[in-house]
Amino acid sequence: MNTGPASDTELSQGAAPVYATRAREAVSAALVEGHPNAVLMPDGSLIVPLPGGDAVLPASTVERVRHKLQERAKNTDDVTLRAEANVMLEVELATESGQDEFAAFLAATQPAGLRGHGALRYALSRLAPAALEQSDGSLRMSDPRGDYLITADLLHRLRLALEASARAGSDPTMMRVQALAALAEIMAFSAQAAPLPPPVTSRPGTVTTAPIVGTAFVTGRSDGSTLSDAEVRTAVDELLATDILDGGVRGWSWSSDGTTLLVDTTAHGVQRFRPGHGPLSRHVMARTKIAGGPNGEHLVTFNSAVATDQVARIWLRQITDVLQELSAPEKQGIIRTALRGGRKQTANENVTSLLNEHAHLARKWSETPQSRERQQIRVDLDGVARELRALGHVPPRRRGLLSRPPGTFTRQTR
């Protein structure tokens, strides 16, 4: 009887069933997590229900995934093994359905920079598909943890790490796993380190205008002063009725005592806007309480910290949003609306006011000679375009203004 130490071959053979079991468990866990309705057929193939129809992974594909995981099980822990199983199945399903848009970027024959970029794009598509790129290259995130910012520096470091992994010879599956794990850690860190206030929404019966980050359309006055009645009044002179694109406004004038702006509309007659100003949250440019009757006044409160050159844009947004509220399909007369407390402003209505604002800024840009002011208007236009894209709307193309993708303009703020 041989009582000496077991050979490496004997140890390997004895451990093989353990590795195979861990591989099967990793595949099962990945299916339970990502595709709980998947069905394993008697021949070993896998039917996976997807939004576009069922995908069928042949038995040979399922076995290939298990074999790869069995080999990986020799050098990795169960948590990583399950993450790899998840990615492998997703890749096979995407390949089977012809929807793996990242395979070409991650191929081993590609340059390390492109592979790193592809891995990061893959992770973002899985973990943060609704992330909004900011003007400085950072990402605004919104998930159950709240709203927060992933800085451009953190994203750059992650991309460099993935490029290094590519140069070290990591295969496409491993790069996807690494990108997912690293991005998940960055998201958890950023949610704690860089929280953002939630997007401003309007209470029922009111409309609210929020700042646009990365532009001049923010609260704060460089000289520390506060907004005056005269600034609120004269700002209206910068507007034209044609800035309201649907043609629903004929014009406006001030009441005889100069306290109320009378807006002549095609659908709602003359609407009365009484402006004021006072302290509001820095996340609110202005708020209007909608009138409770056909002859009432809409009470517009401007944030006393907004700059003079932003008041006209605020007027345009507030007028547009109030008229949108009055035109909403469920409005059965303004008195009944006031009695039932109104409703919240919606994203589609924000699109309308942003489109009007874009038209106003484009007109100002075309009328302004080359100068720092004209450059700032362009930055503001790009900011409005970003807001429109975030709401799923393509910014309009205007002569002389070529739409630039997010993150390609110079950040200029107040």
Q: Is 276 exposed, middle or buried (0-12, 13-18, 19+ CB in 10 A)?
A: middle
Residue type, 322: V
Strand order in the sheet with 139-143: 132-133, 139-143, 146-150, 195-196
**pTM, entire model:** 0.53
Sign of CA dihedral 243, 244, 245, 247: negative
Question: How far, in whole angstroms, is CA 354 from its chain's centroid?
Answer: 16
Domain range summary for the chain, segments of one domain joined by +: 12-99, 101-196, 206-390
pLDDT of residue 200: 58
Could you give the C-alpha distances from 354 to 142, 260, 313, 389, in angstroms and in order? 21, 24, 10, 11
Q: Give pLDDT tens digits along the chain (414 positions).
A: 344 444 444 434 556 788 889 988 988 888 888 788 888 888 888 888 876 677 788 888 889 889 988 998 888 888 888 888 888 888 888 777 667 788 888 899 999 999 999 999 988 988 888 787 776 788 888 888 888 889 989 999 999 999 999 999 998 888 988 898 899 899 999 999 888 766 555 567 889 999 987 788 989 888 889 999 999 999 999 999 999 998 899 999 999 999 999 999 999 999 999 999 999 988 899 999 998 766 789 999 999 999 999 999 999 999 999 998 888 765 544 333 333 344 444 445 588 999 999 999 999 999 988 888 988 998 899 889 888 887 777 788 765 554 443 333 333 344
